[in-house]
A and B are shown apart, each in its own frame.
Chain A
Amino acid sequence: MKLTRRQFTLATLMAAGTAGLPVYVKAQGKKTIAVLFDGLYSPFWVAGLDVIKQDLTKRGYEMVQAISDKDDNRQFEQVRAMLARKVDGIIIVQTDSNAVIPAIKAANDARVPMVHFNRPPAKTDAFSVAVVADNRSITNATVEHMVKVAKEKGGKYKAAILIGNLGDPNAIGRRDGFFDVVDKNKDIIDVVARIPTEWNADVAFAGLTNAFQANPDINFLFTSSDFLFPQIVQVLKTRNKFQPIGHKDHIIFGGFDGDAMAYELLKDKYLDADGVQDLFKEAELAVNAIVDLQEGKTVERVLLDPGFAIHQANLEQARDRMWGYSIYKQKNG
């Protein structure tokens, strides 16, 4: 039988209509939560996604996930796709705090609750809930311990800080937390390098290498995220500066996140202090918020994870609250 183009077109349109019918008769099954991350480029996000998934599964939810690869437009499209899929809630990690606002408005219009995991949006009239670590306070505590160590050792210090993407309020909080403390201790600490990383390991590696070329005597180093540790260690090793606490060339070294490598570096006495975000608590707060919003309960716009600083003096007592230690234990028994 010969099929004309018109017949083919009509047939396909009719088939499309018929196949679309299930939309209207979709069975009501499990509730679905969309988890939209902007990337899985650090252990924190990988572990975060895993913990949220386990928590949702435990509570009987189905989870669908999507990664936007740091593309704000793609993430906006993902939010709309999930709203069209009629999900019951969205947990999101956005790249840019301003660019996420249209997505929040779209969720508000569809009456689907949205919770920001670990990264708050910019100020907006649109409603969403953000679970955030108290980045500034945690960094204050971490850097205060580093300064205490510096004072105990004596002498003057040249400091460098690796700064995250300034579109991320977390990066701003950590930067400000660092300067709150070092600015009060200008008599012993001179910040000679502010290294922008854009949360990119390659950029961080190049920036730190250049900083050491310009200031070979940097001896106080803080990174705004632990995921940059492999690059930092590499740079320090090539300059023979990766030395344990007690060695004359040891650089006073601090980080932020609380990942497994941070625990290993603390245990092996290469790292002086680390700011820890309570990943388990943040995941629980995010899922609780979604559930409460679905049930029509009132939830605060910002849910704070106070976090803590872990260092050589409290390592044994505090490590059980460190998510990186849990991962380390799983890997090493």
Chain B
Amino acid sequence: MTATSLETEARSSGMRRFVRRVLFSEYLVLWLSVLYFLAVLPFVPQMASVEVLRNILSDMLPLLVVAIGQTFVLIVAGIDLSVTSIIAMASVVGASVMTGDGGYLAGSPLAVPAAMLAMVTVGLAIGAFNGFCITRLGMPPFIVTLTTMMFFSGAAIWFTTFHTTTSSIANLPHGFVVLGQGNIGGVPNSLWVVLAVGILAHIVLARTVLGRRLYACGQNRRAAAVSGVPVRKVIAAAFLISGACAAVASILYTGRLQTGTPILGQTILLDIIGAVVIGGTSLFGGKGKVVWTVFGVLFLVLIDTSLKMLGLSLFSVFAIKGAVILLAAVIDAVRTRFAARI
């Protein structure tokens, strides 16, 4: 073998190692976010302003909560399409409890905590229903959550008609609105809520038996069952967590808009699933981390914000976001194939 061919081979194997390292890096999406940020700066210099960075952070927060819930479901190789209807249903139920315009607890000091409790209960109830249908009736998650999405999207509109002559419930108490809108020293109040949810979710996934069981169920359900994992309970728990997270996101979105609306979150399903997949959580189950979802949400919100600042049409925004999510899914498939070879 000549020296030149040895050099070429060394270079190509070095390249292979680099590609592998990049593909398998936990921080791939974070680096991509940084690169994207740098790439768009010449076109949208305002992206580096404190105001826009603060906007990016606050836009990320509610989306991140609901995406964390979706991460749990994807880890068990499921999918939860009903999260948008949970956001809508929880929004109008919570608003109907606390609105100053004839809410069930209007003017009561208990209005805000009761409304938030009602919202989380809605999320847990729908999540439990999804889990029951999937684990006890053996129905596919896609069909179950698709139908609950349709049902509760309609139910939210129907529920709203009992509480207002318009299509939304306004006049929400200040104590609630500050959760979604307020900030202390420029740090959004909702950040603390999201941090609590994120840290808790990370601990559950990384440090508890439930976390290990979630991954086991996602990797190989039959093997997990043989190993003594209560597969049905674990999968049901994932959908329950997803429902609860969607309800928390609903609290943040509703507070932000100061309005309970039955169309809240209707168009963000692509963003939720897209952010989780972009982060690196596998659509095939068994793989995913909260921090990856944080990176995925960051990347998606960065793209979204830059496209908004550029004033591109909605159709271009959809096309670009769709292409990025498709690319992420392709990378996921390539990583899975590489991992199988290794």
Contact = CB atoms under 8 A, between A and B. Distances in A.
- A joins B in a complex: yes
Given A66-B314, A98-B166, A73 B265 contact: yes
B49 interface: yes
Contacts of B165: 166, 172
B256 to A, nearest CB: 7
Interface residues of B, number: 44
A100 to B, nearest CB: 9
B46 A16 contact: no
B42 interface: yes
A74 interface: yes
Given A65-B311, A67-B313, A77-B59, A96 B46 contact: no
* Residue from B42, B253, B259, B265 with most neighbouring chain A CB atoms (10 Å): B259
B190 to A, nearest CB: 13
Contact of A97 (B59, B166, B264): B166
Interface stretch (A19-27, A184-192, A217-225, A321-329): A19-27
A77 B308 contact: yes
B200 interface: no
Contact of A19 (B41, B170, B313): B41
Contact of B258 (A16, A99, A166): A99
Interface string B254-275: 0011110101111110000000
B219 interface: no
A165 B304 CA distance: 28
B107 to A, nearest CB: 19
Q: Is the interface of B mostly helix, strand, loop or mixed?
A: helix
B313 A16 contact: no
Contacts of B31: 8
Interface stretch (A80-88, A134-142, A153-161, A310-318): A80-88
B168 A96 contact: yes
Interface string B208-251: 00000000000000000000000000000000000000000000
B94 to A, nearest CB: 15
Contacts of A69: 267, 314
B257 A76 contact: yes
Nearest to B308: A81
B45 A96 contact: no
Contacts of A167: 166-168, 261
A67 B55 contact: no
Interface of B: 31, 34-35, 37-38, 41-42, 45-49, 51-52, 55, 59, 62, 157, 165-170, 181, 253, 256-259, 261, 263-268, 304-305, 308-309, 311, 313-314
Given A98-B169, A122-B170, 20 more contacts: A12-B34, A20-B45, A21-B45, A26-B45, A64-B311, A65-B311, A66-B313, A67-B314, A69-B267, A70-B263, A71-B268, A72-B263, A73-B253, A80-B55, A81-B55, A85-B309, A96-B167, A98-B261, A99-B257, A167-B166
